[in-house]
Structure 1
Amino acid sequence: MIKKILVLCAALMISSSISAFAHGEISQAIPAADSTVIAAPTEVSIEFDGKLQTLGNAIINSITVTDDKGQVISDQSSVVNGARLSVRLLLTDVTGLVGVHYRIVSEDGHPVEGDYSFTVGQAPTLTSAGKEETAEKANGVSEESGSNLLINAFAAFLVIGIVIAILSRRKK
């Protein structure tokens, strides 16, 4: 009976730890990641899966947009509105690959950073490396999801180790 209770507790801990690591995920980006737009937008906005934290006038949430030469083309002050973060673009005559870097503090207090890109104008031709990257994105594989998987696996092993330690102590 005790073993069943411990196994049930371990399963509950693992399932709750997996959902606890899901924070600060993008629910919508405009322009979207890997999209191609005809003309440069006047604003880039990202909506996350939870409200963003703010600390008065402190800049803890930001978006930086760069052109294909690495020059910053966005305003320095990003605007937070609930779960949405946006920034105005200073240059709208940009063409080519545009990079978006964001840093947020999610409602649970965890800082999250990430990058994505979109293209302004004609879509670039794919090289063999680009085809592999596109295939990875189509399969949903990314560095961010890989790190969450690693954290979840570590949490699961930790819980299993604790359960084994408790069971071995009870036998003695």
Structure 2
Amino acid sequence: MKKIILSAFALFLLFSPQAFAHTYLDVTTPADGDIVTTDIQSIELNYSGKIEEGSFFTLEDSEGNEIPVSSFTVDNGKLTGQLEEPLKNDVYTVKWNSISQDGHPLSGHYSFTVDKVETESIEEVKTEDLADIENIELESENPTSPVEVEKDKQNSSSPLVIAGVILGVLIAISAVVLWKRKK
């Protein structure tokens, strides 16, 4: 009889390894120690087994300020939290509390870093470009320094002075030629 009971117990252990295994946090997105370089608006915790409703996590920045999580979804062994807005560059800590299917409480924490390249929005660039173009046009129409004003006066009157000199020389030559003919 002992052999039958021991054999049955051995078969039970062989075919149901999950019955005695505890659930643990398996994979996270982002992972512990990751450096994220893109916008992130959700955090995902994947467990080795099913977890219960009521499982959650909190998210804190490097100064200990809690970042709002707008909603949680529990799907078998996956806990997903949606963030209200993409995370800014900083170091974040995820503190999680979950309940395994067998009722055991699970908790822990891990950290990751967000280090995105900051880019200007298209509207800001367009506005700056337009302002630069307007400044260039204004500068070319209205020089502000006295040196520029004097140069502009010289440049604008130079063709007139040259034309006047040429006209004066022609008149002088004509007068000399007419005077010699009369003699």
Q: Does 1:97 align with 2:91?
A: yes
- The CA deviation at 1:98 is 0.6
Structure 2: runs of 5 or more not aligned: 117-183
Give the structure 1 partner of residue 40 of structure 2: 41
Structure 1 pair 76/89, CA: closer, same or farther in 2 (3 Å)?
closer
| Cα-Cα RMSD | 2.7
Match of 1:52 in 2: 51
Confirm whether residue 106 of structure 1 aligns to residue 100 of structure 2: yes
SS in 2 for 1:77: strand
Alignment check: 8 A CA contact 1:102 1:114 kept: yes
Distance in 1 between residues matched to 2:66 and 2:72, nearest whole Å: 13
Post-superposition offset of 1:70: 1.4
- Count residues with an aligned counterpart: 107
* Residues 32/112 of structure 1: CA separation in 2 closer, same or farther (3 Å cut): same
- Runs (4+) of structure 1 exceeding 6 A deviation are none
What does the per-residue CA deviation read over 1:17-52, in whole Å, with 9 as the maximum and x for residues that have no partner? xx8774231221000011111134110000000011
**Structural mapping, 1:4-83, within 5 Å:** 22-54=21-53, 60-75=54-69, 77-83=71-77
Q: Which runs of 5+ in 1 are unaligned?
A: 55-59, 123-172
Preserved contact between residue 24 and residue 104 of structure 1 (Cα < 8 Å)? no
Correspondence for 2:169? none
Three-state SS of the structure 1 residue aligned to 2:31 is: coil
CA contact (8 A) 2:71 2:83 kept: no
Output the TM-score relative to the length of structure 1: 0.53
Identity of paired residues, percent? Answer: 29
- Rounded to whole Å, the distance in 2 between the matches of 1:32 and 1:106 is 21
Q: TM-score, normalised by structure 2?
A: 0.50
Residues 109-148 of structure 1: matches in 2 within 5 Å? Answer: 109-121=103-115
Larger Rg over CA atoms: 2
Q: Which has the higher contact order (CA 8 A, sep 6+)?
A: 1
Q: Deviations over 1:109-164 (max 9, x none)?
A: 10011100001117xxxxxxxxxxxxxxxxxxxxxxxxxxxxxxxxxxxxxxxxxx
- Pick closer, same or farther for the CA change 1:37–1:21 going to 2, 3 Å: farther
